[in-house]
Structure formats: structure tokens, C-alpha cells
A and B are shown apart, each in its own frame.
Chain A
Amino acid sequence: MQVMWDNFWFRSIDARQYAALRIAFGGLSAVYLFALLPYVETQFSGSGWLGSIQQIAIQNGGSWSLLFIPAGIHAATLAYTVVIVGILAAFLLMIGWQSRLTAGMTWLVWVSLWNRNPLLLDGDDAVLKMMCFYLLLSPCGNCWSIDACLHKKPPQVAVWPLRLMQFQIALIYFVSGWVKFHSPEWLEGTIMQYVFIHPQYSRWDGWIFINDPLITGLLAGLAGFIKWWEMLFPFLLINAYSRKISILIGILFHLGLLLTMNLRWFPVIMLSLYPALASNRSFFRLEKKLLRCCRVS
């Protein structure tokens, strides 16, 4: 039992897996924080509509934010500074310069924004915030980074931060699936019909096909399949064979969302979590393939 426990939490793995996650979430955080710039003054600064209100954060168990610092007439400057520092930190995290420090700074900015005005933010931002926290805990700069070029870093690292990420991913799917079992539209199987005619969410004009009984039947079946797959996701990860199938379903599901729905970069963010579920050896093989391609070209 002790051996199993140690093997599960403390065995060494190839650091390339963390590096892949660092590049993905550093890059995505930089893009997302950049896209928030037009909202900084009105939505996040002390001179914005929320003024000095902190009640939303406190109601949801958050008491701190860099944006709660009283800055008087310089409130907008403070807010812009925080977000711009976040963009720079996220970019540096992506390229792997002082990786843990920059992961920490990006996380600090994400939490500050969340505690300041969560009303503007959504699940995609929440995943970015949490992944920055796990990257802060992980040796994510040991490979494929400026840190690794400048200083020799051990390529074999501890697995426990990856286990925390995997638990987080499993929890996201499990809770999402469970919630769907309490939604009338998901239970009736009509959810997809609404989504495909929703002016805000749908990329395509769903009115063309939603009244076809065959298509509505297929969409209802798909809705039922998705809610079961999401709720069983943590259990499907346990077995190697079911894990591969589950990951494949997840990739298809998020590609489907990307093609059909306007959810900003949410499907890309969710797909970027999948390297945390992949085999650790696959990253070494990926590096070899990329190097071979570079040599050939």
C-alpha cells in the first residue's frame, strides 16, 4: 500500500509534460488578459461601476485582490498596471523565463480580477486561474524554457502537481455532468435545440435543421451521452483502455463545441488540459518527432 501511495504521488516523471501545460496556459492567459483590457476601467478599477464594493468576493469566500488597494484618483492606473503586469507575466510564463515566479504573478492577477468582479468572468477564465496556481506548484520551467537554457535543470521531476491537475480536471467534468442531471433541458434532451438557435451562442443558423425529427432525436441522444460521459469521467480515467476512449470523446466533444458554439476560447482551453491526462512518455516522443521534422526541413 505504501509503495502504491509513493508511486502515485511521488514518483519521478519527465518534466516535458509540465512544459507543454506551461506553454499552453501561459499563452492562453496572455491572450485572455489582453482581451480584458477594454473592460479594465469600467469593470475592475475602483473608478468603475463597482466602486469600492467587495461584497461579491466576500460572499464567495474571497477576501483579497490587488484591485482592492485604495488608489483614489489613480484607481484606473492601478487596474491597468495590474492587468498589463499579468499579460507580461503570462507571456514570460509561456516562454519559460522565471517560470514559477511568472506563474505566481499570473495567478495573482487572475485571482485579483476574479475577486474584484466575477460577474464578467466565466468558466474559461476559472480554468486559466486554477491552472496558473498548479503551474506555480510545479517545476514547469525544467524543459522547453529559457530557464532550462540558462541553467541546467533536472529533466525528471515529482508527479504530485500533475496529480492535483488531474484531480482538478476530473472534478470539472464530474460537477458539470452532475449539474446537467438537474437541468430540465438536459433531462428532456432539448438543450441542443436551444443552443443551435441561440443568437449569442450558436455559430450557425440552427433553425434550418432543428425541426427535423431525426436530427432532434440524434441531438437528444447526444445530450444524454454527454451528461453521462461527463459524470463518469473520473471513473473512466482509472482504467488505461477507458481513459483513451474517454480522452478521444473529450477531444471530439470540444472540437464540436469549437465548430458550433461561440464560447470564446473555452474549447481550446479545455483541450489544453488534455496534455495533463496524456501518457508521460508521449512528450519525449513528441520532442523527438519535432526535432526530426526540423532537421528534415
Chain B
Amino acid sequence: MAAIFWWSLPHSFGSMVLANAGQSALEERLFKWVMLDEDGWTYSFFQNYIDVTGSQQYWDFFAPQSPKFHQYLSVCDSIAAYPEQGKIVCKGQTLFSNLGDDFEVFKRFGSHRSRLYRLTENLANLEDPRLLETFTQYYRTYQHGITEAQLVLHQFELHPGLKDLPRAGYQMDKLLWVSH
């Protein structure tokens, strides 16, 4: 119980403590106390317990689900950008994409794409060069003769108060990675 409590708090709030923003003095002291000294016996014991028992308390530590946005990924062999619309599209082959075009239709019984949606949230949030390169490279190697592949993040920002915007939200795509 102590180990999972120890693991939960720093992983939920660790970034906040490091940024030193948004927490009270009491919280800050509590986190610093709970995080323990990395050279200590207790730290090592808790870490090993968590590892062996697979007790990592993953809730949304990789990417907190922000309902302000919805986002999708595409891997393209070449792209075309439309900055005035905030849009980037695949010009040639689409090597991978989980971008749909039916945002106006709300799905009563869920989407079979929810796993890839979660993957998108995590990859976009982590922005880890090694992961982005590996992901793009994987889809690039499926096609022969492609010298370069681009990983595009299609991001839509929702504004419930602004009725003039498209219901899908304000589009602001960005190029996440280029694999040579």
C-alpha cells in the first residue's frame, strides 16, 4: 500500500512540483517528502516492489486527456500545407492515418479507433524524438522507394463559446517529425 501510494503521487504531480506551479506549500512539502531520496533503502525497496509486481498506477500520466483538443496522426510520403486553414494534408501516399472526416456525427456506441486515439495523445504529448522516429520509420519501411516520410499531427481546438467556428474546432495541424 505504501509503495503504490509512493508511486502514485510523484507520477501524478511530479511535473507540477518540478515546475513549482499550481501547488500549495503543503502539497509541495508532501510531495518532496513522499518522493524520497533516490539513494535510500526505502526508495530502492519501493521501486523494486513496483517493478516486480507491475504495480505502476497508470491513470493518465503519459498524456492527461485534455478535452479541449482532439487530435490524430498521419504518416505521409509528402505533404501540402494550407496555413490559412491550419491544415496539413498528405500530398502523395498516406502511409498511416487515424484521421476521420465525420466529426459532426457523434458515435452512440463508441469508436473502434479509441486505442489509436490514445496512442496519438501519448505520442503528441511525449514528443520523444526516438519514439516519433521509430513510429514514422515503421510505416515508411512498408513502402519501397520512399526516401522520406513525415509525421503530421492533426489537432483541433474546441471552443464551446464560439459558434462561428466549425463544430470540429479550430484546426492547427503541425509537422511532428521527418524521417529520412
B-binding residues in A (CB < 8 A): 36, 39, 42-43, 48-51, 53, 55-56, 60-64, 107, 110-111, 114-115, 118-123, 126, 129-130, 133, 164, 167-168, 171-172, 175-176, 178-179, 182-183, 185, 190-191, 193-195, 197-207, 210-211, 262, 264
Contact = CB atoms under 8 A, between A and B. Distances in A.
A206 B161 CA distance: 12
B68 A203 contact: no
A107 B168 CA distance: 39
B158 A176 contact: no
A231 B158 CA distance: 28
Residue from A61, A178, A185, A206 with most neighbouring chain B CB atoms (10 Å): A61
Interface in B127-171: 130-131, 134-135, 138-139, 158, 160-161, 163, 167-168
B56 interface: yes
B51 interface: yes
Contacts of A42: 138
B130 A207 contact: no
Nearest to B112: A38
B168 A114 contact: no
Given A201-B67, A264-B114, A182 B16 contact: yes
Interface of B: 1, 4-5, 7-9, 11-13, 16, 22-23, 47, 50-51, 53-62, 64-68, 70, 103, 106-111, 114-119, 122-123, 126, 130-131, 134-135, 138-139, 158, 160-161, 163, 167-168
A190 B68 CA distance: 10
A202 B12 CA distance: 25
B42 to A, nearest CB: 15
A73 to B, nearest CB: 16
B51 A61 contact: yes
